[in-house]
Amino acid sequence: MKQTLLFITALFFNLSIYSQAPRGFYVAAGLSQTNLKSSDLLNESKPGFYAGINALMGYHETYNFQLEATYKQNTLDLKYVEGSFEEAKTSKYKYSEINFGFYFNYYILKPEEDEFFLGPQVGVFASVVDPLTPSKGTDVTYQNYLPYLLNESELTNSAKYNYGVGLGFTGGYNNFRFDLRYSLGMANVLEDIQVNSYDESHNYTGPTLQGKTSTISFGISYNIFHFSK
């Protein structure tokens, strides 16, 4: 009887090992594109990249939790006119942030040894955002950004933080994982930018500019350190 119980215990222990996505620390890298949705700062987004580290934790075969810290960067083409106001052009600006996220992963295809696993994920994030800055080699002299004819010094007052929700799919094979995700920012990242509109007492009379972000990203992670029970 004792031998039977020991056998059953060992069997379930081995199954529990192989039925969980590998837990531990991962290095991650991938493609990312953040779009700035705003009618107060005309722009187009270009693809960029992200890199970082994440940690997978939890002992259940059908779900676990993911903590991550990543650096993301891509380019925004801002619409502007020069002093003559004759022609609209574009100028490249860098949008970058350090992002912290917490996600819940649920596996429809459960993790097993030498088998592919896949499922949806949902979570929240908060990020520290760098001010909008011209890309390297971009000349911003005498440029007035549409539609409020903002200058470069005014753009550097863009928001210093963002937060929101993310959802997508996660999956992998043994020590490799991937995340395909759509993230929706909820902070107004243009709130602190002021146009040249003041009263006689030098009080700002508005408007408050509006701009929120959305990001599509795809990255691959590799397990570099396993958690043990």
State the CATH number of the domain containing residue 189.
2.40.160.20
- CA-angle at 52, arms to 59 and 63, nearest 5°: 20
Tens-place pLDDT, residues 136-182: 878 888 889 999 999 888 888 887 899 999 999 999 998 999 999 99
Please tell me whether residue 221 adopts helix, strand or coil conformation.
strand
| Confidence at residue 58, expressed as pLDDT on a 0 to 100 scale | 87
Task: Kindly state the tokens that stand for 201.
Answer: 């007492």
Q: What is the pLDDT of residues 32-90, one digit of tens each?
A: 999 999 999 999 999 999 999 999 998 888 999 999 999 999 999 999 998 777 789 99
| Total domains in the fold of the chain | 1
Distance CA 42, CA 86 (A): 17
Q: Which of 139, 156, 117, 158 is nearest to 22 (CA)?
A: 117
Query: 30 lies in which domain range?
Result: 2-226
Helix, strand, coil abundance in the chain, percent, nearest 5? 10, 55, 35
